[in-house]
Structure 1
Amino acid sequence: MVKFMLKCFVLVSILLFGVLIGMQQANQGMLKMKGYNDPELSGAFSVENEQTGELEASILGSTVTSQDLQKKQEQLEQIEAFNFFSQIGKKFAGVVSDGASSLMTYLSNLINGILE
């Protein structure tokens, strides 16, 4: 299961990276076709050095900094996520497990009673 999830994650990452590269190539093609540099046409992604020495990334026009990522991580840690379907699945799995266990116990007692 872990190998499958790892393969899926790698495949999705590669595909996402390919989409970003394709968007960048399309932007460059539009600039070449237009013949002049239009400031409204920004690239799909760009990385720039700030004066403070930090890197600033821009993906699809929105800037991403390390402070933004830290704030989002803190927000995710503070939120106690409750997944309704996950809780229902856990309860259903417990009921099925208990039912299968009691059925096996009943059948083993029945077989032992017949054999004695």
Structure 2
Amino acid sequence: MALALGWAPMPSRPPKTTQPTLPKSRRCCCPCSAISEAESSSSTATTSFSPRPAVILPGLGNNTADYQKLALSLQGYGVPSVVAKVSRIDWLRNAAGLVDPNYWSGTLRPRPVLDWY
């Protein structure tokens, strides 16, 4: 799976209804949690921004429908999202690379096998 996002601060999270807040010792230390903590603790931070859209590219063997929950989740955070239209049968086109000796030696280039993607 590939996800292309422009760098912008994450918008504040939608209200949680069922999950309790973890103690600080068990919270994730990734930048996204630090941003949301900083936004929630600062009452003076009232900057407005418009996040760039997320383009979601289905991974090997997956299809568009496999990523609809992710797209909806991102939209819930205010991030416009679109999933590339890919069906499972599209991935059979990769089989064309199996007849190329470069596939077996590990030197196959993405073109022309993945031009459809």
The structure whose Rg is larger is 1
TM-score of the aligned structures, taking structure 2 as reference length: 0.24
TM-score of the aligned structures, taking structure 1 as reference length: 0.24
Structure in which a larger fraction of residues adopt helix: 1
Tell which has more relative contact order, 1 or 2 (C-alpha 8 A, sep 6+).
Answer: 2
